[in-house]
Amino acid sequence: MAIVKPFKGVRPNPSVAHKVAALPYDVMNREEAKKMAQGNPQSFLHVSRAEIDLDDDVSPYGDVVYQKAAENLKDMMKQGVLIQDEAPKYYIYRQIMDGRGQTGLVACASIDEYLNDVIKKHEFTRPVKEVDRINNFDFCNANTEPVFFAYRAQKEINKIIKAWTDGNEPVYDFTSEDDIGHILWVVDDLEKIDALEKLFKDVPYLYIADGHHRTASAVKVGLKRREANPDYTGDEAYNFMMTVIFPDDELLIMDYNRVVQDLNGLETDEFLEKVAKAFHVQKWQGEGPYKPEARHDFGMYLENKWYKLTAKNEVINEDDDTERLDVSILQKNLLNPLLGIEDPRTDKRIDFVGGIRGLKELEKRVKHDMKIAFSLYPPSMDELFAIADIGQVMPPKSTWFEPKLRSGLFVHLLG
């Protein structure tokens, strides 16, 4: 049973929503964030990346940064840049990229359901990465950014959401600088709010699609508040975290590709000979980079040439949900044994390139600072669900979701 609650959202004044909305905190570095927010005091980056308002020699993880974030959030609310709804509501958030739309429900989910595994995970988290958002949420007394959840599409939920978006005017409708459309509706009808809350109780699980660290951080802030308030009832705002929940049939997982600095001491001919033991190797004769079109096919860019690799049957374990993933096959049969990448989480010789950047980015990286690149076929939502359902995790950097949720369009105050 999924507990999904409406909340009193803090959101932009409609006249400035396009100025407030910002990319998530973790898709840019400090310099890029500062450039993005330059000349725009209403950008939500002043909350999610408050170090941009401080001297460059100030650590981005110092308390002064989180204090500045809290100050900026309060100022935006005082100035009317951000306003809070007086009653709990749901919000419907639609994004449109390249003509494809995805529509999710903005709501609060229970931290207990994360702890009880009703909210399913498919990645490990690293405590060191959680600390930053724990501090941001804690100092701001808010979930300043949403997490990206998915669920197996339910006909009745989709029906209510579609009827609302077809029959009501959105409060925001703008296109961001990266040509992605953002449309938001406020669901303020008590009957519809009640119906959605009841319908989600029949959804057995929610799945974290993107934002495992933000989710874990929100949960830990909630637990910290509980510890400070031992008489808590469970209804307090800090017992819930803000999320956008999408039906799985509207989501797109893009490829998440790899680049490696060297051939681990191997000569090119020797390397190709070793690759051929686990993969069928063909020189790519088509124009441009090779983009895999099916599971177990890979592209490889080496010495200014693209190759098509197809995993041999003997290295594919279709009986294991994790081992049969293409990222697992590549890691187990090439990256580890041939290139010496034992742990892709920590090895500095490997880097990862999201599919949104295109395969030309792989060529660019090889010409600039890498030796070899691999393009992959993306996993499916069914594969993600299957692994999460059995309590396993996908290999690191397996999924890249687009478009990214914009920050600043909704904030959940914790008390």
- The DSSP call for residue 8 is -
Task: State how far the alpha carbon of 411 is from the alpha carbons of 11, 98, 140, in Å.
Answer: 6, 27, 10
- Contact between 109 and 97 (Cβ < 8 Å): no
Local confidence pLDDT in tens for the 415 residues of the chain: 799 999 999 999 999 999 999 999 998 999 999 999 999 999 999 999 999 999 999 999 999 999 999 999 999 999 999 999 999 999 999 999 999 999 999 999 999 999 999 999 999 888 888 999 999 999 999 999 999 999 999 999 999 999 999 999 999 999 999 999 999 999 999 999 999 999 999 999 999 999 999 999 999 999 999 999 999 999 999 999 999 999 999 999 999 999 999 999 999 999 999 999 999 999 999 989 999 999 999 999 999 999 999 999 999 999 999 999 999 999 999 999 999 999 998 899 999 999 999 999 999 999 999 999 999 999 999 999 999 999 999 998 999 999 999 999 999 999 9
Residue 357 confidence (pLDDT): 92
Based on the number of CB atoms within 10 Å of its own CB, is 191 exposed (0-12), middle (13-18) or buried (19 or more)?
A: exposed
Q: Using only the alpha carbons of the chain, give its radius of gyration.
A: 23
Start-to-end C-alpha separation, the chain: 25
The ranges of the chain annotated as CATH 3.30.1760 are 256-377
Run of H or E residues at 64: helix 63-78
Measured CA to CA, the distance from residue 363 to residue 384 in angstroms comes to 29
> What secondary structure does DSSP assign to 150-174, as a single string?
EE---HHHHHHHHHHHHHS--SEEE
Backbone torsions φ then ψ of 121, nearest 5 degrees: -115, 155
Residue 126 confidence (pLDDT): 82
Short-list 292, 256, 278, CA closest to 336? 278
Short-list 105, 85, 84, 202, CA closest to 148? 105
Residue 151 confidence (pLDDT): 98
Residue 396 confidence (pLDDT): 86
Query: How do beta strands 142-143 and 240-247 pair?
Result: unpaired
Measured CA to CA, the distance from residue 62 to residue 132 in angstroms comes to 9
- Contact between 137 and 130 (Cβ < 8 Å): no
Measured CA to CA, the distance from residue 383 to residue 395 in angstroms comes to 12
Three-state DSSP state, 140: helix
Residue 28: which residues within 8 A CB-CB, separation 6 or more? 36, 49
CATH classification of 256-377, choosing from 3.30.1760, 1.10.10, 1.20.1050, 1.10.8?
Answer: 3.30.1760
Short-list 155, 157, 187, CA closest to 171? 187
Measured CA to CA, the distance from residue 350 to residue 101 in angstroms comes to 33
Residue 125 confidence (pLDDT): 86
84: alpha, beta or left? (left if phi > 0; alpha if psi -120 to 50): beta
Short-list 210, 175, 149, CA closest to 401? 210
The strands making up 305-311's β-sheet, listed across from edge to edge, are 279-283, 305-311, 297-302, 372-376, 256-260, 350-354
Residue 38 confidence (pLDDT): 96
What type of residue sits at position 235? D
Three-state SS annotation for 383-404:
HHHHHHHCCCCCCCCCCEECCC
Whether residue 403 is preceded by a cis peptide bond, meaning omega within 30 degrees of 0, is: yes
> What secondary structure does DSSP assign to 169-203, as a single string?
--SEEEE-TTS-EEEEEEE--HHHHHHHHHHHTT-
Task: State how far the alpha carbon of 371 is from the alpha carbons of 1, 258, 397, in Å.
Answer: 49, 11, 20
Measured CA to CA, the distance from residue 334 to residue 68 in angstroms comes to 46
- Contact between 8 and 86 (Cβ < 8 Å): yes
Task: Look at the alpha carbons of 137, 141, 144, 146 in this order and tell me if their dihedral is positive or negative.
Answer: positive
